[in-house]
Structure 1
Amino acid sequence: MPIINSISDYKDTLTTWRRHLHQHPELGFDCHKTSGFVAERLRDFGVDEIHNGFAKTGLVGIVYGQSDGPTIGLRADMDALPIVEETGAEWQSTVSGKMHACGHDGHTVMLLGAAKYLTETRNFAGRVALIFQPAEESGGGANVMVNEGIMDKFNISQVYALHNAPGVPEGHFYTTPGPIMAAVDTFDIHIQGVGGHGAMPHETKDPVVAAVGVVQAIQTISSRNHYALDDLVISVTQIHTGSAENIVPDKAFIGGTVRTFDPKVQAMVQKRMAEIVAGQAASYDVQAELIYQTEYPATINHADQAAFAADVAREISGDKAVLDNVGREMGAEDFAFMLQSRPGAYLFLGQGESAGLHHPAYDFNDDIIPYGASFFAKLVETAQPMGGN
């Protein structure tokens, strides 16, 4: 079965919706307008139940099938990023400093397209839970929604999500059983020294030199404290200090991210980073504080559900356009929390050549909306067929 015809027929409408959302991006948990837009569309479709207020602006829509059965969850993320857009598109962001640079506007509309079709046809047993989630980029909205009880409240038995993939051929899918995306931690290091005149550094306790020492020492964790074949990324992404050429500042800040799959590697990194920060602070006679936060766990697909989802994707795009055993990636995704709560799978959908995710020139490819919407719809009809047990 290729793209569902009726979904293809309203592709122009779905595109209009996607571009509207693109023009009005919202960050984190504050997806009020986006959530309101989604709720209005769901009411127009005749979705049976709409439950608001999860994770502040998240919502869950429930669609009934034609007979009793389990409930399958489909999730889309809604939040944007704090980036100044550089696409030059007619539908470019109208909100300064905010843009949909990761395609969550497209994910939202793909699920809306599936919701419209499923509400019209209801060719399935049981129920569908349409999960529209804020704060994927930061804040862990998925974890909040799980902790607020959506899985138990709506008796969700399994759950699935899609993400677009720049550089992958349009309409191609890929996934893998087991770990597919990494756990993500963040670290902040605050160094307190004694400032003074740049011409008299002997009267200071220089946090700049200490910061350089800390950053260089952190690099040795990957190269000297861990087995080279275990996946690990440690990236220092921020160093802030100083205000003028002739002033030794009194403070410095270092920030960055850690990506792992193995909890033992994760624990080793945290331990070594604490030791390095303390040791370097003593070496340079400054005070230093490490704030290390574990954020999202690794995204781990359930093997049976990943295989099932790949088979559904083959019905949409064909055997040659679906890979079901790809290598894992060092990016992170808070859908991991939903997969910890219920069986399910996370897949990528190719959107063709484009700027990369989180790039100011990125834009979602509207031509893949029917692929994603058809996948979600067919997933439901295959998982919970009429007359099934």
Structure 2
Amino acid sequence: MATETDFALQEQMIGWRRWLHQHPEAGFAERKTSAFIAEILRSFDLQPHIGIGGTGVVATIEGERPGIEIALRADMDALPIQEENTFAHRSVHDGWMHACGHDGHSAMLLGAARQLAADRSFAGKVHLVFQPAEEIGTGAKAMMTAGLFEKFRAECVYGLHNWPGLATGRFVVHHGAAMAGARPFEMVVSGCGCHAAMPHQGADPLLAAAHLVTALQSIVSRNIDPADALVLSVTQFHAGDTHNIVPDTARLGGTMRYFRREAGEIASRRMTEMVEQLAAGMGVRASLKFFEFGSPPLINSAVHADHCVAAASAVAGRENVGTGVAPSMTGEDFAFMLERKPGAYIWIGNGSAEGGCSLHNPRYDFNDEIMPLGVAYWVALVRQRLQPVER
């Protein structure tokens, strides 16, 4: 049965979450966000460390007895999307909104901080990591470059993300790959512009670029093991300004997603070869660049996935914890932390994805009803992992 304290915390979390939703900030610009989070942590008699990796915040809760150290991570940044919701807590910053639920992730970790700080009957330390710049894929690396795991010596790290389309009250845990590696790219095809009525006098970059869009798909169908999941999508094509001029240049952009590193490397090599050779065969030049803000595949440790299953089962029932769900081709920079430390990343159901509730949607809003379950999961995970050892 819920207590008055539970209801009071729920109301607090709703207030925190909706303030964060109203005040979205870009990656590495989460200054008001991090100050807000730090202020709340101080109200629990914690001493937050601020400015880690730019705008990151970390607070440590020490149990009443010595033991191992673990880290829990929430992301803080928003997306460059114009919000279409009309409720009172809609974004006050034009062109930016929390369309992925990072406001809810931060609020749930703050709720867990309050619970754990008030009752420290565990052995060890838990480090609460509020990470910037997840959406641009560089926040986790920035925090680690700034010495995250040297200053806060966690032996493992855990993450959580809301999942629209997964029923409220349910969790999903993957024993292995949970989310794909993401490798964004840009191609520039350069030719020689001319009058559209006399194409023989130029070198058409659009024709070569159009062939590239279709030819690149042969990499997936003919160079990658059919047992591997790999997606190569061209999502941008920019060229020309008017109807009667063949332009000098065409620019294309897109993303590659994969689970097995070897498959990603094969596809990257074949893309480079194809771009250069197809362009040369059509009398133009082309270059391919992969951006630094991609992320590797997010691979859970099976042992730590088991810890997550146990904690989620304790609060939701084992029947509400899925373990056989297919991983997602979306990316997540928490993968960089899992390359440095063992751990696991789970999904918590956010309810129906219908009516504009899917992630990165201008009508998305985090489901406040799931916050108590998220807090209970974090607290259960900490207490199970940091149990005092009887002597």
Deviation, structure 1 residue 272: 0.8
Q: 2:385 aligns with which of 360, 369, 383?
A: 383
**d(CA) in 2 for partners of 1:95, 1:216:** 39
Superposition pairs of residues 1-389 of structure 1, within 5 angstroms: 6-47=5-46, 49-293=47-291, 295-354=294-353, 355-387=357-389
Deviation, structure 1 residue 5: 7.2
Distance verdict in 2 for CA 1:4–1:242, change over 3 Å: farther
**d(CA) in 2 for partners of 1:334, 1:307:** 22
Which amino acid letter does the alignment assign opposite residue 191 of structure 1?
V
Deviation, structure 1 residue 3: 7.7
Distance verdict in 2 for CA 1:4–1:384, change over 3 Å: farther
Deviation, structure 1 residue 283: 2.3
Structure 1 window deviating more from structure 2 (198-207 vs 304-313): it is 198-207
Distance verdict in 2 for CA 1:279–1:4, change over 3 Å: farther
Matched residue SS, 1:70: strand
Which amino acid letter does the alignment assign opposite residue 364 of structure 1?
F
Distance verdict in 2 for CA 1:53–1:110, change over 3 Å: same
Distance verdict in 2 for CA 1:286–1:174, change over 3 Å: same
Answer yes or no: is the 8 Å Cα contact 1:183–1:299 preserved in 2.
yes
Aligned length: 387
Structure 1 length normalisation: TM-score? 0.96
Structure 1 window deviating more from structure 2 (274-283 vs 31-40): it is 274-283
Distance verdict in 2 for CA 1:183–1:5, change over 3 Å: farther
Which amino acid letter does the alignment assign opposite residue 29 of structure 2?
D
Answer yes or no: is the 8 Å Cα contact 2:75–2:134 preserved in 1.
yes
Alignment RMSD (CA, Å): 1.6
Long gaps (5+) in structure 2 = none
Answer yes or no: is the 8 Å Cα contact 2:78–2:99 preserved in 1.
yes
Matched residue SS, 2:123: coil
Segments ≥4 residues shifted beyond 3 Å: 2-9, 386-389
Deviation per CA, 1:11-46: give whole Å up to 9, x if none. Answer: 111111111111111111111111111001001111
Answer yes or no: is the 8 Å Cα contact 1:69–1:125 preserved in 2.
yes
**d(CA) in 2 for partners of 1:69, 1:135:** 31
Answer yes or no: is the 8 Å Cα contact 1:75–1:130 preserved in 2.
yes
Which amino acid letter does the alignment assign opposite residue 99 of structure 1?
M
Structure 1 window deviating more from structure 2 (379-388 vs 347-356): it is 379-388
Long gaps (5+) in structure 1 = none
**d(CA) in 1 for partners of 2:279, 2:93:** 42
**d(CA) in 2 for partners of 1:75, 1:45:** 18
